[in-house]
Structure 1
Amino acid sequence: GRKAGALVVLVDGLLALYVERGGKTMLTYTEDPDALTAAAAALVTAIRQGAADKMAVEKINGESALDSPAGRALADAGFYSTPRGLRIRA
């Protein structure tokens, strides 16, 4: 279930990303590169529109965000790399 402070991203009505409260952990629900690209762009837009002041994603599906296809989509959408993962500020 969705918890207060968590974010979900839908692509064409289907769950694509679930970002846990605080943003350190993310789960993906698609492996489609186009859906991940769209979801990452939507997440960046939501953050820039005030959904969060900043976000630092360290783990995606239990693994390092830097080594994930979703992590690459986030970087392409505007997140930047840090030693711990990927970060964005509003």
Structure 2
Amino acid sequence: MYVADRGEIHQVEVVGQNTTLLQEIPLFASNEPVNNILLHTGQALVGSPLSLARVQAEGCALYPNCELCARARGLGCVWSEKEAACRSTAAK
């Protein structure tokens, strides 16, 4: 799930009543309000009144260990013991 703030978006996972912040992604130099987020073909298109930014919606490779990768399971990430890396379930 993506949550917008001024100049950035936050990638969060909600399981039951627990919320985990997975990633903070700065987008705009100024603190422009984020008006729209559109998920399309593996990307998040983020719009503000003055700017448009494109962010890869899948960032499994950003998680360096099994524990952090497991927290990103809601994003479609899974830890590969063979590769010792966090991978997308869609890549299989």
Scaled to the shorter chain, the TM-score interval is 0.3 to 0.5
Greater CA radius of gyration, 1 or 2?
A: 2
Larger fraction in strand:
2
Higher relative contact order (CA 8 A, sep 6+): 1
TM-score by length of 1: 0.32
Larger fraction in helix:
1
